[in-house]
Structure formats: structure tokens, C-alpha cells
Amino acid sequence: MKKIHIVILVIVAAGISIIAASFGQFSSYQTFETASKEPGKKLYVIGFLQKDKEMQYDPKKDPNHFIFYAKDKQGNINKVIFNGEKPRDIEKSEQIVMMGYEEGGSFHCSRIQMKCPSKYKKDMVAEGNNG
């Protein structure tokens, strides 16, 4: 085997390793309990909007600050802080996928993907300012 072939194989292997490592941190969905055990680590959490709990959003005061409560698949309810405007029709979503990290007893979310109930309506994504 020529030296150039060995160099190319090493470069390809390194590239694959880097790509696999970057996707590895977001490879599975976690719970709020997992997030609280690993504060600061970015995770994806699937949850459901707690419609019976208060949502805080005042676009006149701060249009990029939305606070709500969500319940994960294990039944844990957590306060979620989203640094972006309140996603339109979040109340109608079946599920929400939140990307963020735990800090100070709250889940700080930088991205929300809302799973819509209709198979004909696309999922909606909201991006925050700290993303």
C-alpha cells in the first residue's frame, strides 16, 4: 500500500470519528431527571406542555422570554425557560422536543420542536436567542 493511501485512510477515519462524536451527544432523548444530574450539558428532552400551569410571556416587557412548564415521559414536571418568543400554537401541540440544559432548577431551552396532531401539518420549530 502506498503512503498516500495510508494518509487518506487516516484522514477519512479521523473525519468519521469527529462526525460520530459530534452526533453522539444528541443521539437520544433524555428526561428532566437526567438533565438535573448533568447540569450544563445540552440534551434533548421530549415532553408535554402542562396547560394547567401558568405560562409567562409578556412581549411588551421582553419579547424573547417565555416561561412554561412541561412534563417528560417519566412524569417529571419542570420549569422551562425559552429565550425566544412564545411559539405560535404551542398549546395545540401533542408533544414538544426541547433542546437545552439544566441550570438552577430550570431547564433552559434554546430550541423547541412542536409535534403537531395532524399528519398533514408539519412540525413547527422555534429557535431561541441563546442557541
Domain residue extents for the chain? 28-127
What is the pLDDT, as a whole number, of residue 108? Answer: 94
DSSP for the chain reads: --HHHHHHHHHHHHHHHHHHHHHHTTSSEE-HHHHHHSTT--EEEEEEE-TTS--EE-TTT-TT-EEEEEEETTS-EEEEEESSPPPTTGGG-SEEEEEEEEETTEEEEEEEEEEPS-TTS--EEEE-TT-
Look up the CATH architecture of domain 28-127. Answer: Beta Barrel (2.40)
- pLDDT for 120 beyond 70: no
Cα–Cα distance for residue pair 2/117, rounded to 1 Å: 57
| 102 vs 117: CA distance, rounded Å | 28
Segment 12-62, tens digit of pLDDT:
888 887 776 665 554 578 899 988 898 888 999 999 999 999 999 998 999
| pLDDT tens profile 79-106 | 999 988 998 888 888 899 999 999 989 9
